[in-house]
Structure 1
Amino acid sequence: MSARADAPPPSGGTATRRRGRALEQAIYQAVFDELRRVGYAGLTMDGVAAAARTGKAPLYRRWPDKDALLRDALMDRLPAADDIELVGELRADLLAVLRFLSAACALTKDPALQVAKSESQETHAMMRERVSVPTRRMLLEILRDAEARGEIRQGAATPLLAHVGPAVVTYRNLTAPMELTDEFVVEVVDDVLLPMLRPQG
């Protein structure tokens, strides 16, 4: 995005001269500000441009509509499963994946993300594909690898058991008034998952 495209906003205010990542971040922040202010139904490209203090050209050149813009804004804010570093050790890998899930859950406390999830089926599906699906897939792979190494009991590497950790973290996020903490994630791994998975005797 060039600075020339950062023209005065529709409201007639003075645009801030930005380009590249700085302009992109201002636009994404404006998306969340507008979601909190007017909800998904009231979200418009014009409103985002005005809130970001930019022209409409930078938006329409990159995003055809508000759904495409919202998707990229969410993708930018949510943690990425590809960034998880697995080391081939059961406890460390369980912690890495559940910390990723916990970080994503913490972001869903943001009223703007709650609005997006509740009012846009496409957004809800995207967040599921971005967070829930890779979490469960990686946990099942971790269990299968650990079973092959003899770290867990034979037959424990099942989709059902791979869902236990995410279910506990997600339930706590939905029902507890306090924020998810790293201490809680460690407790889930040490007090729930490992005793459930380790060979008996």
Structure 2
Amino acid sequence: MPEAVEGRRRRGAALEEAILRAAADVLRESGVAGLTMDEVARRAGTNKNAIYRRWPNRVALGVAVYRRSATAETTVPDTGSLREDALELLRRANSTWSSPYGEILRGLIAAAGGVPELLAELRDPAAGGGPYEAAWLTVLHRAVARGEAPPEAAHPRVASTPTALLRDEYLTRGVPSVPDTVLTEIVDEVFLPLIHGRGLAGGVGVA
């Protein structure tokens, strides 16, 4: 198909934008399963070679679309309580994962298989990476300053634990939404004991 808009050949950024918009439309309408290079090429008014020159496969294209739509802005709760801050962050993540946005993310993670590069790119605010992980670290540093947590608790692996467990609920159990009782269990039975254990162990135990 011609790579043209208004009679002119599209190149560079203009063509890439058209491809990404078309792929985003397919993802919204049909999910990851419906994302094919043929359909994206048809909607973008281009050919598959133009897409393959930019992305090696449909999953890489889907990840690019997802990364572009993922927001990097994450406000940090400050309730004065580590438990309440943790529950608020976990509830926000749960809300995103149970939305159509989260469904696309879960589909891309499954389609990416074990490819580390693609999985790394999917570490967005809702998935527990980037600014979202920074929000958890901020919550932990505030708890340390209040004397509510030992200094050793402000560690990236500790910060990533709650959302890692939340992801596991979605990816291994296939649930459409995680009940608030489970979120509370993650905080009360795993996250807070892990933090207190870090203090007792003097920082030993989480690499």
Q: Which residue of 2 aligns with 1:48?
A: 40
Residues 1:141 and 2:141 aligned together: no
The residue aligned with 1:30 is: 26
- 1:87 paired with 2:78, answer yes
1:150-180: CA deviations, max 9, x gaps?
A: 2234543334432432332233223224233
SS in 2 for 1:47: helix
Note the C-alpha offset of 1:49: 3.5
Q: How far apart are the structure 1 equivalents of 2:165 and 2:23?
A: 35
Change (3 A) 1:6 1:96: farther
RMSD, matched Cα = 4.3
Structure 1 Cα separation of the partners of residues 191 and 155 of structure 2: 13
Q: Is the alpha carbon distance of 1:161 and 1:72 closer, same or farther for their aligned partners in structure 2, counting shifts above 3 Å?
A: closer
User: 1:17 is matched with which residue?
Assistant: none
Partners in 2 of 1:99 and 1:24 — Cα distance?
Answer: 30
Equivalences, count: 173
For 1:21-53, what per-residue CA distance to the aligned partner results, in whole angstroms no more than 9, with x for missing partners? xx9765413256484147xxxx42x53042x4x
2:165 corresponds in structure 1 to: 168
CA distance in 2, matches of 1:154, 1:83: 23
* Percentage of matched positions with identical amino acids: 23
What stretches of structure 2 of length at least 5 have no aligned partner? 8-18, 200-207
SS in 2 for 1:82: coil
Q: 1:108 to 1:196 in 2, by over 3 A?
A: same
Under a length normalisation based on structure 1, what TM-score does the superposition of the two structures give?
A: 0.59
Q: How does 1:50-199 map to 2 (within 5 A)?
A: 50=42, 52=43, 54-56=44-46, 65-66=54-55, 69-76=61-68, 78=70, 80-87=71-78, 89=80, 90-103=82-95, 105-106=97-98, 107-108=102-103, 112-114=107-109, 116-118=111-113, 121-128=116-123, 131-134=127-130, 135-153=132-150, 155-183=152-180, 184-194=182-192, 196-197=194-195
Unpaired runs of at least 5, structure 1: 8-22
Deviations 1:47-98 (A, max 9, x none): 3042x4x5239xx7xx9724675344212554x3523343363234323432
> How far is 1:6 from its partner?
8.4
Does the 8 Å contact 1:99/1:182 carry over to 2?
no
Which SS does the other structure have where 1:181 is aligned?
coil
